[in-house]
Amino acid sequence: MPGYKAPVEDTLFLLNDVLDYESCATLPGFSEAPLDVASQIISEAGKFCEEVLAPLNASGDRAGCARHPDSSVTTPPGFREAFEAYALGGWIGLPVPPAFGGQGLPYVLSMPMSEFASSANMAFAMYPGLTQGALAALLRHGSEDQKKRFAPKMAEGRWTGTMNLTEPQCGTDLGLLTTRAAPRPDGSYSLTGQKIFISAGEHDLSDNIIHLVLARIEGAPAGVKGISLFIVPKIIVNSDGSLGARNNVSCGAIEEKMGIHGNATCVMNYDGAQGFLIGEANRGLNAMFVMMNEARLGVAVQGLAQSEIAYQNARTYALERQQGRALTGPKNPDGKADPIIVHPDIRRMLLEIRAFNHAARGLALGAALDSDIAHRSPDPAARQAAEDRLGLMTPVLKGVLTDIGFENTVKAQQVLGGHGYIREWGMEQFVRDARIAMIYEGANGIQALDLVGRKLPRDGGRAIMAYLKEAGELLTTNASNEAMKPFVAPMQAALADLHKATMWLMQNALARPDNAGAASYDYMHLLGRVALGVMWVKIARAALNAKICAPETSSAMDARLTAGRFFMERLLPETAFRLARLSAGADTMMSLPAEMF
Amino acid sequence: MPGYKAPVEDTLFLLNDVLDYESCATLPGFSEAPLDVASQIISEAGKFCEEVLAPLNASGDRAGCARHPDSSVTTPPGFREAFEAYALGGWIGLPVPPAFGGQGLPYVLSMPMSEFASSANMAFAMYPGLTQGALAALLRHGSEDQKKRFAPKMAEGRWTGTMNLTEPQCGTDLGLLTTRAAPRPDGSYSLTGQKIFISAGEHDLSDNIIHLVLARIEGAPAGVKGISLFIVPKIIVNSDGSLGARNNVSCGAIEEKMGIHGNATCVMNYDGAQGFLIGEANRGLNAMFVMMNEARLGVAVQGLAQSEIAYQNARTYALERQQGRALTGPKNPDGKADPIIVHPDIRRMLLEIRAFNHAARGLALGAALDSDIAHRSPDPAARQAAEDRLGLMTPVLKGVLTDIGFENTVKAQQVLGGHGYIREWGMEQFVRDARIAMIYEGANGIQALDLVGRKLPRDGGRAIMAYLKEAGELLTTNASNEAMKPFVAPMQAALADLHKATMWLMQNALARPDNAGAASYDYMHLLGRVALGVMWVKIARAALNAKICAPETSSAMDARLTAGRFFMERLLPETAFRLARLSAGADTMMSLPAEMF
């Protein structure tokens, strides 16, 4: 069975040494979690995932979920107990204000648990993850009464949440959705329609399920401007908070999927189900976007998480499996062969994964910290800058971390050769599970369009301009440091590629929108590589500092510096490739008649 | 259920217009198959795969194989009848000399069936595919008596074949194998040991199974120089050719795998099984390499084959699924949305696959034609040149076609969004099936080492030098043709990258072998891109000619030219990226202590 060890030390190093967590100490919630408390929370999260969630991963994949004739759904053995323990630990409500049953701690401190849980058991982690996303939307857009009625139970994990967007005829294009909401005399609505691909739509982990559902109020405008968001509880909640009658919503089927078998992906049938409007009528997409943005960051972390656990198990195999001899002569002369870690190509694969994981973790934590600043800072300029960065980076992290995360599970599987393809070693599950992260919460091509079509041009390009400026200054600041040369020089070239690509878009996309679409995916990956590189510059600086201030950490810091140099040598050159691709424009691809494909 | 249409027209165009099949007309076997006969064979192969094999693909994946308490194994429903029809069609013995029950036709004409069958049903196609590989080794290295006794039944498909290399402690490093062979008084051997990952090791498709088994004769030298190859029939074959007693070889278990569920991957136990030495004692690896080389080409084709069927189904979806509007205004104004083929990023994904498939098919057919020339040409210089090209290209095609082929199944799955992740659409099976091709018959990292460590330096670099020269001449010849400019100019840059990479290896690998290992994978992919590009140059030239000679084919030829330009613009720039990566050398990756990974 594959093993898992939560990267607690790495996380703390990133939070403290690289991201300067303590600089946020004056923000609300942060004072309750100084570094020692944060450290304890992160360690506890790691322990829980290693001991409780990881052992249920392979068995959960095999058992899967089952739907019964009464439309109830059972999750794999052990999930119920694990979820109870997860909820009791206070993990779901960690960043939720105490007024609504949470601990009011920084959002960034819920990130490590998101990552560790998604490594240890991705299918399981989606249940609390979706609940947190639904909670975020509810807290932002719900009425006081709605928040009081639903949020505390969700924060405690006694009720879970879902998001219901997709219908058979509409996925990406939500304007096509047809689920309808008819007003009832009591001010609530009666929802009718079918939703598909609803993760955690039905299960046996909680007393109630709070569905957030997009639907069209009768008479609403066509398209996306006529969509409203509703709370549809599985079981009606009485005004005193007790549970009442079963609502007319049920799971019609669960999908057979490539992976995440432990999570129930449901067809949900709404047959005149009672629903409660959240926020304004016809402004449902806005409210849903809060949930989606948080969910996108969560999905980005799934990519990293699967990359991490796949790395750990490939590493273990590479240290143990003996096959062949080092090209430079035996390294294990008493054995019949050397461990395969002596072979350069095995090291290449492992280092490609590792050089991604460390920086990707830094980016995810950084984005969460930006979310905290954006929501909690008293300084409007700081809030705006953080919101700009977060808006720009959310599609990039979703698209790039899940794409590379998946590739890395494939690479790690390759390290095991034939054993990687066999179920018992567990590697193939990581591949199957990681695959979905590139698709849901907006397929990665949609993330790229969000980036190029919305996030770049917004506010006259303020976010990307600020990003380019900040990255340039970081390089300038470190340019004179000899030890930073292997990081600064390649990054200057990569940043120049990003500049050129941004200019290319400005010059070519307005006149011909297809050029934006044709360039979007490569631009997203180009920006993603630069962002990972920027994070490596920060990590390298912190590691060099740590070697001086805490010489006992030297070997760990040297390993970081080596992984960082590897990134600069082997992964960063992709920026030029992406620039060459996107500069080709849309002409060729648009010139082929559709029927000739 | 996913559909499949065999690319018969594409194949004929490549064979005739691009590869000049008829220039081989004087070689033995070719005179029996002029172009019209070849065309008929290829059409029949396509029809068989579309009608008989494709309908069993999804059902075979679900049913899988089952091992019974008596160690017998049953294949999925329908496989037995399909195999009988396949064998009756004469497909297995197509390139086998008539003296041994075959049709003596060109090997290149068995390629289309290999591809089509692997598209339609990869798990099924492995049964005849392995039989053909075993036959090739037997015909090359077996004694006259062995050939007469075993080959005709195998060519007829009444018996099947396997290759038994891997053991629990040895995969890549065959020197570690411990299966032992004790001489018997009658000149045969008694084999004892365990083999794992044996594809088609046991099943219900044929009357007998002829295992080719690597083992160590008692007293043989340690390492790879003490390995011999044996024929071990599942059922002993009497001297009159009739079947005798059951041999002491049995299937101990079948593996649960990520994919190719319709093929039984067996643990094979040899408990004093009677075996017959093929060729010389202790020279078993040499004989096995014949089988492995043919098998490697077959696996390369599996990568292409899965890429092709994945493309076809993604294309169908992209033409039918309506979602969103074209960036340039509605293309389907009467519908609620446009088909997603209007979106540039969907076209990007489809064209990336298509621009690979067409050229990859040309390379596979070209390699098969080289194999025919190498074995059948009366001209020693032509034989040698063909053998050089084939030796150089075999690891490249295996590594690159399976790597890109797998990536393409993932890309095609992405086109379907959430539906790509659901079993019923069939796309996820292509991903799971395609994955194994990167691993078996020598993991792709091993192919890269074979290329850089053996194939490049062999005969003073004769093969690569000839390749570079030939590619350079092709570009020179076409340089003055204005219509060829979009192909020639980018290829000149790519060829320069390959030159530089080859020089880098010459200068850096001898002094430091780890530099060869560290560069191998990128070099393989660099050469692979150049080879695909060279094929595109040939295709483009042929397409331009065809537009003049056969104007009625213009729209198909224009589509080819568009796909080719797309290749040059979007896929070929990867050569510079690969060069940058490999030029980084081994220092960084080798400097990290093993325990710090």
Contacts of A255 in chain B (CB under 8 A): 422-423
Q: Beta strand pairing status for B228-233 and B265-278?
A: antiparallel
| Inter-chain Cβ pairs, chain A and chain B, closer than 8 A | 248
User: How much is the average pLDDT of B344-364?
Assistant: 98
For residue B293, the model assigns a pLDDT of 81
Q: What is the CA radius of gyration of chain A?
A: 24
Query: How much is the average pLDDT of A268-274?
Result: 98
Tokens of B590: 């080798």
CA distances from A293 to A223, B91, B309, B462, B472 (A): 21, 55, 35, 57, 51
B436 to chain A, closest Cα gap in Å: 7
Option in A258, A574, A589 nearest B347 (CB): A589
Tell me which DSSP letter residue B76 carries: P
Choose the closest CB to A573 out of B423, B563, B581.
Answer: B581
Q: Do A319 and B595 touch (CB under 8 A)?
A: yes
* Across A525-549, average pLDDT: 97
Strands A66-67 and B243-246: what pairing? unpaired
Residues of chain A with Cβ-Cβ distance to B410 below 8 Å are 406, 435
Query: Looking up tokens 């990258």, which residue turns up?
Result: B497
Q: Which pLDDT belongs to residue B173?
A: 92
Would you state the pLDDT for residue B569? 98
Interface membership of A589 toward B (CB under 8 Å): yes
d(Cα A138, Cα A140) in Å, to the nearest integer? 5
Q: Which residues of B touch A350 (CB under 8 A)?
A: 597
In this predicted structure, what is the pLDDT of residue B239? 87
Give residues 466 to 525 of A whose Cβ lies within 8 Å of B: 513-514, 516-518, 520-521
Report the predicted TM-score, pTM, of the whole model to 2 decimal places: 0.98
Instruction: Render pLDDT for B223-242 as a digit per residue (tens, 0 to 9).
Output: 999 999 999 999 999 988 99
Full DSSP string of B259-297: S-TTS-EEEEEEEEEEEEEESSTT-HHHHHHHHHHHHHH
Q: Residue B251's pLDDT is what?
A: 98
How confident is residue B511, by pLDDT bands cut at 50, 70 and 90? confident
pLDDT at B291: 75
What's the longest Cα–Cα distance across chain B? Answer: 83
> Which chain B residues are closer than 8 Å to A166 by Cβ?
418
| Residues near B217 by beta carbon (within 8 Å), at least 6 away in sequence | B180, B181, B182, B183, B189, B226, B228, B281, B282
CB A439 within 8 A of CB B414: yes
The pLDDT tens digits for A221-249 are: 999 999 999 999 999 999 889 999 999 99
Q: How confident is the model at residue A144 (pLDDT cuts 50, 70, 90)?
A: very high
Closest Cα in chain B, distance from residue A15 (Å): 21
Out of A172, A420, A577, name the one closest to residue B574 (CB).
Answer: A577
CB-CB contact of A127 with A158 (8 Å):
no
Residue labelled with tokens 């559909």:
B3
Inter-chain contact A257–B428, Cβ cutoff 8 Å?
A: yes
> Do B501 and B526 contact (CB within 8 A), yes or no?
yes
Quick: pLDDT tens for A306-354.
999 999 999 999 999 999 999 999 999 999 999 999 999 999 999 999 9
Q: Å from B597 to nearest chain A CA?
A: 7
Q: Where are the domains of chain A?
A: 8-67+75-146, 160-283, 459-590
Nearest to A418 among B166, B342, B347 (CB): B166
Residue B84 known to be catalytic: no
Residue B490 is predicted with a pLDDT of 98
Q: Determine the residue among A166, A345, A450 to mutate to test chain B binding: the one whose Cβ has the most chain B Cβ atoms within 10 Å.
A: A345
Q: Give Cβ neighbours of residue A381 (< 8 Å, ≥ 6 apart).
A: none
Looking at residue B287, its pLDDT comes to 82
The angle subtended at Cα B492 by Cα B491 and Cα B494, nearest 5°, is 60
What percentage of chain B reaches a pLDDT higher than 90?
97
Q: Answer yes or no: is pLDDT of A291 > 80.
A: no
Tell me the average pLDDT across A54-80. Answer: 98
CA atoms within 13 A on the CB side of A482: 0
Q: What's the pLDDT tens digit per position in A169-214?
A: 999 999 999 999 999 999 999 999 999 999 999 999 999 999 999 9
Share of chain A above pLDDT 70, in %: 100
- Compute the CA torsion angle B437, B404, B510, B590 (nearest 10 deg): -90
Residue of B nearest to A430 (CA): B258
For residues B428 and B434, give the distance between their C-alpha atoms in angstroms, rounded to a whole number: 10
d(CA A136, CA A155): 10
Residues in chain A: 597
With CB atoms and an 8 Å threshold, state whether A171 touches B323: yes
Catalytic residue among B441, B470, B569, B574: B441
Q: How far B174 CA lies from chain A's nearest CA (Å)? A: 9
Query: Residue B288: its pLDDT value, please?
Result: 81
> How many Å apart are CA B44 and CA A594, to the nearest integer?
29
| Closest CB from A258, A420, A581 relative to B428 | A258
- Whether A251 and A268 have beta carbons less than 8 Å apart is answered as yes
Q: What is the pLDDT of residue B586?
A: 98
CB atoms A584 and B595 under 8 Å: no
Q: Dump pLDDT digits (tens) for A388-415.
A: 999 999 999 999 999 999 999 999 999 9
Q: How many other CB atoms are found less than 10 A from the CB of residue B220? A: 17
Q: Indicate yes or no: CB of A323 within 8 angstroms of CB of B445.
A: no
Taking a C-beta distance cutoff of 8 angstroms, is the pair A194, A215 a contact?
no
Considering only CB atoms, A423 lies closest to which of B256, B440, B577, namely B256
Q: Do A555 and B596 make contact, defined as CB atoms within 8 angstroms?
A: yes
Which alpha helices (H) appear in B122-280, and where do they start and end? 122-141, 144-155
Domain A8-67+75-146 CATH assignment equals 1.10.540.10: yes
Q: Which two tokens stand for residue B553?
A: 């084919």
Q: Sign of the CA dihedral B469, B473, B474, B480?
A: positive
Q: What is the mean pLDDT of chain A?
A: 96
Cβ neighbours of residue B50 closer than 8 Å, sequence gap 6 or more: B4, B5, B6, B116, B120
Q: How confident is the model at residue B154 (pLDDT cuts 50, 70, 90)?
A: very high
Chain B residues 209-228 with a CB less than 8 Å from chain A: none
Question: What mean pLDDT comes out for the span B536-547?
Answer: 98
CB–CB contact B570 A562 (8 Å): no
CB B136 within 8 A of CB B290: yes
Residue in chain A closest to B312 (alpha carbons) equals: A597
- Return the bridge partners of A161, or none: A210
Q: Are B542 and B478 in contact (CB under 8 A)?
A: no
Please give the residue of chain A at the shortest CA–CA distance from B335.
Answer: A176
Q: Which of B176, B256, B417 sits opposite A337 (nearest CB)?
A: B176
Tell me the C-alpha distance between B137 and B134, whole Å: 5
Cβ neighbourhood burial of A335 (10 Å; 0-12, 13-18, 19+): exposed
Taking residues A35-64, report their average pLDDT: 98
Are the beta carbons of A531 and A463 closer than 8 angstroms?
no
Are B518 and A431 inside 8 Å of each other by CB?
A: no
- B243 CA to chain A: closest CA distance, Å? 34
- A430, A588, A595: best to mutate for the B interface, most B CBs within 10 A: A588
Quick check: B323 and A172 CB within 8 A? yes
Beta bridge partners of B261: none
Confidence of residue B122 (pLDDT cuts 50, 70, 90): very high
Contact B422 A449 (CB under 8 A): no
* End-to-end alpha carbon distance in chain B: 44
B286 touches chain A (CB under 8 A): no
pLDDT band at B510 (very low <50, low <70, confident <90, very high): confident
Confidence at residue B417, expressed as pLDDT on a 0 to 100 scale: 97
A8-67+75-146 against A160-283: fold identical: no
pLDDT of residue B1: 79
Within a 10 A sphere around the Cβ of A275, how many other Cβ atoms? 27
Q: Which of A218, A441, A569, A595 is catalytic?
A: A441
Letter for the amino acid at B74? T
Taking an 8 Å cut-off on Cβ atoms, the answer to whether B319 and A170 are in contact is no
List, as ranges, residues 414-443 from B with C-beta within 8 Å of A: 414, 417-418, 420-424, 428, 431-432, 435-436, 438-440, 443
**Residue B290: pLDDT above 80?**
no
Q: Is A581 on the interface with B (CB under 8 A)?
A: yes
* C-alpha to C-alpha distance for B461 and B465, rounded to whole angstroms: 6
Taking the C-alpha atoms of residue A373 and residue A370, their distance in angstroms, rounded to an integer, is 5
Which helix (H) or strand (E) segment holds residue B212: the answer is: strand B208-217
Secondary structure in 3-state letters for A42-60:
HHHHHHHHHHHHHHHHHHH
Contact call for B516 and A590, based on CB within 8 A: no
| Nearest CB to A173; choose among B323, B565, B573 | B323
ipTM for the complex shown? 0.97
CATH number (2.60.40.3880, 3.90.1150.10, 1.10.1740.10, 2.40.110.20) of B160-283 reads: 2.40.110.20
**Which residues from B are below 8 Å from A565, CB to CB?**
588
The CA–CA distances, whole Å, from A448 to A296, A456, B374, B574 equal 13, 11, 49, 21
pLDDT 10s digits, A416-432: 999 999 999 999 999 99
Residues of A in contact with B344 (CB under 8 A): 514, 517-518, 520, 586, 589-590
Helix (H, G, I), strand (E, B) or coil at A209: strand
State residue A160's pLDDT score.
98
- Across B441-458, average pLDDT: 96
